[in-house]
């Protein structure tokens, strides 16, 4: 699998503010790569650099084998972008906005109509965009971004402001596009979104890559300790788990989540709790989520930078 | 591509009544209402104190011009002088005002609306975006001028024409003014305004700054329009030629000053 996008030690600053600092990541062709990070992590800057709309201060960027700053026109003709807050000419209708995009990207009106139908916005094309809801805008933005059948799709917070149903629909459409061989790079700070669709997650913070890989591999790498959820009718007894042999750490969240050094310790722990009077209602090994992973990485990073 | 950028802006403008209505009123006022009232008043003001004053004004014009003024009666001569010489500068004030109002918002408006992001990520070259914006700003002002000029010509011929032996307007000076001198002066103003529009942080600031830019250009072009309408044809042609050269230099420099980062709104200080 070749690389659709490659960032190598890319840095970008705006005056005193460092947006990216030695950012490295690769988005393989035909995959969904999720850039995951808090606000200000540098995700939007990454998208803008990928299209050549901005110039990096340092580092090497390749998109479809091209250098965006040198071959910007070709890169932008082969890439589709959905910005974080999709904006349109409000007084124009949805169709007029799509026609404008079709002309610029040298796509046919048929392609514009097909894109609108694919994203279920064809019914509203005669309306002025000023009257569109957030969901309709997002759908129109997605239609506009794929009007020229791009090889790479850069989506910057595509579900921002959407209700859960619309978010799910958008994510399904994104997965569908990836299934057709398109390379998707999606920026988000919503962990549950990344979880469902990502082939690769790039965890970003302060403009740099903290980790990259498939969510499962990252979990294995950073969350090697098995976690078990305990709950009981008499929850106070669960506090006795702290300090027992094999318990690495414990987190209370109504129920109790316990990280063990070895899952084989579990039968003994259960026996000890029951012997201690615990009336257990739940004992469940927990699959680490991306959220767990994200916070674990943040925790480790804080430990690294704080002596 | 250029046409698409210009057409999107023009369609938007056409659909915004709040925007184009004042511009139509401005053009109507300067090209139709004021000339119609003034020419009618002057034409029917024979042997009044007003006519004596107008006669004094005409007496200050160069002798060659005075020889060109047609008509037998003082009122006819005054109306002719008004139509051909004294109202000429409106031909430049109207398009400059309209085009400046549109142009000031051209680039900073894209940034404020967020549509600049789409343009920045598009395969459009910066020159295509710039020329598209230039056309979208130039066309409303110039179109209003052409329509206004046509109506003005009809008013002049209908009101003054019968007294001087038939339809006589536009004169050579006016043809040159409208088709050779006005376009480069609009282009000069727009080159400065688009450059400023790419640099400022808000549309409000752009409108403020455009006033400062437009005013000197209006004064300069007003003087040029007034002068060339009295001058022999060759000098009018020369003024236009110089204006074209200046306009082209400024436009080329302006198109080079636009950057994608400015469309994104991350280089406003640069």
Please report, in tens digits, the pLDDT of each residue of chain A (307 residues total): 688 999 999 999 988 888 899 999 999 998 999 998 878 888 899 999 999 999 999 999 999 999 999 999 999 999 999 988 889 999 899 999 999 999 999 999 999 999 899 888 899 999 999 999 888 898 899 999 999 999 999 998 888 777 777 788 788 888 888 888 899 999 887 777 777 788 898 988 888 888 888 877 877 777 778 889 999 999 888 888 888 888 888 888 788 989 888 888 889 989 999 998 989 999 988 877 777 777 777 777 777 766 5
C-alpha dihedral (B40, B164, B157, B138), degrees to nearest 10: -100
Chain A residues near residue B118 by CB distance under 8 angstroms: 81, 83, 87, 101, 144
> Dmax over Cα atoms in chain B, in whole Å?
69
Size of interface A-B (CB pairs under 8 A): 76
Tell me which residue in A14, A85, A103 faces B4 most closely, judged by beta carbons. A103
**Closest Cα in chain A to B16:** A91
Which domains, and CATH codes, for chain A? 3-216 (3.40.50.300), 224-287 (3.30.70.980)
Q: Are strands A247-253 and A255-260 parallel, antiparallel or unpaired?
A: antiparallel
Tell me which residue in B121, B124, B263 faces A81 most closely, judged by beta carbons. B121
Cβ–Cβ gap A92/B261 under 8 Å = no
Q: What is the pLDDT of residue B127?
A: 92
Enter the tokens of residue B108.
Answer: 């900073």
Rounded to a whole number of angstroms, the distance from the CA of B255 to the nearest CA of chain A is 16
Chain A residues near residue B123 by CB distance under 8 angstroms: 73-74, 76-77, 104-105
Q: Is the ipTM of this complex over 0.85?
A: no
Residue A6 C-alpha from the chain's centroid: 17
Tell me which residue in A52, A77, A87 faces B115 most closely, judged by beta carbons. A87
- How would you label B228-254 residue by residue, b for 16+ Cβ within 10 Å and e otherwise? bbbbeeeebeebbeebbeebeebbeeb
| Segments of chain B scoring below 70 in pLDDT | 45-48, 64-66, 221, 224-233, 267-270
- Secondary structure (3-state) at A278: coil
Show the 3-state SS of A28-95. ECCCEEEEECCCCCCHHHHHHHHCCCCCCCEEEEEECCECCCCCHHHHHHHEEEECCCCCCCCCCEHH
Q: Does B17 touch chain A (CB under 8 A)?
A: no
Q: What is the pLDDT of residue B182?
A: 85
**CA–CA distance, A182 with A179 (Å, rounded to integer):** 7
Residue spans of beta strands (DSSP E) within A83-138: none
Q: What is the pLDDT of residue A295?
A: 76
Spell out the domain ranges in chain B: 2-28+88-264
Q: What is the pLDDT of residue B230?
A: 63
Q: Does B129 touch chain A (CB under 8 A)?
A: no
Nearest to A59 by CA among A13, A2, A1: A13
Cβ–Cβ gap B120/A53 under 8 Å = yes
Chain B residues near residue A52 by CB distance under 8 angstroms: 260
**CA–CA distance, B109 with B202 (Å, rounded to integer):** 8
Cβ–Cβ gap A76/B1 under 8 Å = no
Cβ–Cβ gap B118/A83 under 8 Å = yes
Which residue is listed with tokens 């250029």?
B2
B104 burial via Cβ count (<10 Å: 0-12, 13-18, 19+): buried
Show the 3-state SS of B124-151. CCHHHHHHHHHHHHHHHHHHHHHHHHHH
Tell me which residue in A51, A54, A85 faces B114 most closely, judged by beta carbons. A85
Q: Who's near B5: CB < 8 A, 6+ residues apart?
A: A104, B119, B124, B128, B129, B131, B132, B133, B135, B136
**CA–CA distance, B134 with B142 (Å, rounded to integer):** 12
Q: What is the pLDDT of residue A218?
A: 79
Cβ–Cβ gap B11/A104 under 8 Å = no
**Closest Cα in chain A to B117:** A83
**Closest Cα in chain B to A93:** B12
Q: What is the pLDDT of residue A129?
A: 93
- Secondary structure (3-state) at A15: coil
For A268-305, how does the pLDDT look when each residue is reduced to its tens digit (9 = 90+)? 989 999 998 989 999 988 877 777 777 777 777 777 76
Residue B52 C-alpha from the chain's centroid: 32
Tell me which residue in A14, A77, A144 faces B123 most closely, judged by beta carbons. A77
Residue A235 C-alpha from the chain's centroid: 36
Rounded to a whole number of angstroms, the distance from the CA of A83 to the nearest CA of chain B is 7
Taking the whole predicted model, whether its pTM rises above 0.90 is answered as no
Q: What is the DSSP string of B44-84?
A: T-TTSHHHHHHHHHHHTS-HHHHHH---SSHHHHHHHHIII
């Amino acid at each position: 699998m070749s690389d659709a996008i490659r960032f190598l030690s890319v840095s970008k600053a705006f005056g005193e503010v460092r947006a990216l600092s030695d950012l490295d990541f690769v988005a393989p062709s035909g995959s969904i790569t999720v850039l995951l990070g808090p606000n200000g992590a540098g995700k939007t800057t990454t998208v803008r650099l990928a299209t050549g709309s901005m110039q990096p201060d340092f580092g090497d960027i390749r998109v479809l084998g091209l250098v965006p700053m040198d071959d910007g026109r070709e890169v932008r003709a082969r890439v589709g972008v959905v910005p974080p807050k999709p904006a349109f000419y409000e007084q124009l209708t949805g169709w007029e906005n799509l026609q404008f995009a079709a002309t610029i990207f040298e796509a046919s009106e048929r392609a514009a109509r097909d894109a609108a139908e694919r994203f279920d916005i064809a019914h509203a094309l005669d309306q002025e965009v000023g009257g569109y809801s957030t969901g309709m805008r997002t759908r129109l933005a997605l239609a506009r971004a794929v009007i020229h059948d791009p090889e790479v799709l850069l989506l910057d917070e595509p579900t921002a402001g959407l209700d859960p149903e619309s978010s799910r629909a958008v994510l399904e459409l994104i997965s569908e596009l990836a299934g057709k061989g398109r390379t998707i790079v999606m920026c988000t700070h919503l962990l549950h979104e990344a979880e469902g669709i990502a082939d690769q997650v790039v965890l970003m913070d302060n403009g740099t890559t903290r980790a990259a890989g498939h969510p499962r591999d990252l979990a294995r790498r950073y969350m090697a300790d098995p976690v078990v959820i305990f709950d009981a009718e008499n929850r106070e007894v669960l506090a006795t788990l702290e300090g027992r042999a094999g318990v690495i750490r414990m987190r209370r969240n109504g129920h109790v989540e316990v990280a063990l050094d070895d899952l084989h310790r579990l039968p003994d722990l259960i026996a000890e709790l029951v012997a201690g009077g615990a009336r257990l209602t739940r004992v469940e090994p927990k699959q680490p989520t991306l959220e767990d992973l994200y916070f674990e990485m943040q925790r480790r990073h804080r430990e690294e930078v704080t002596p | 591509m250029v046409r698409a950028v210009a057409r999107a802006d023009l369609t938007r403008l056409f659909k915004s009544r709040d925007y184009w209505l004042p511009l139509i009123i401005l053009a109507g006022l300067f090209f139709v209402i004021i000339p119609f009232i003034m020419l009618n008043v002057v034409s029917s003001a024979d042997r009044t104190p007003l006519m004596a004053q107008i006669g004094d004004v005409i007496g200050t014009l160069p002798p060659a011009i005075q020889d060109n003024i047609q008509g037998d009666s003082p009122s006819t001569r005054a109306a002719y002088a008004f139509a051909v010489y004294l109202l000429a500068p409106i031909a430049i004030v109207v398009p400059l005002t309209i085009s400046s109002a549109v142009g000031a918002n051209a680039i900073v408006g894209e940034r404020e609306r967020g549509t600049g992001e789409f343009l920045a990520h598009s395969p459009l070259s910066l020159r295509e975006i710039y020329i598209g914006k230039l056309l979208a700003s130039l066309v409303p002002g110039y179109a209003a001028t052409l329509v206004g000029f046509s109506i003005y010509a009809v008013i002049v011929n209908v009101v003054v024409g019968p007294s001087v032996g038939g339809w006589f307007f536009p004169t050579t000076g006016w043809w040159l003014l409208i088709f050779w001198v006005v376009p480069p002066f609009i282009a000069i103003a727009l080159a400065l305004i688009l450059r400023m529009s790419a640099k400022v942080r808000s549309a409000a600031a752009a409108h403020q700054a455009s006033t400062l830019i437009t005013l000197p250009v209006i004064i300069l072009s007003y003087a040029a329009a007034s002068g060339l309408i009295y001058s022999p044809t060759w000098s009018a042609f020369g003024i236009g030629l110089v204006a074209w050269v200046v306009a082209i230099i400024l436009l080329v420099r302006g198109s080079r000053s636009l950057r994608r980062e400015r469309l994104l709104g991350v280089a406003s200080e640069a």
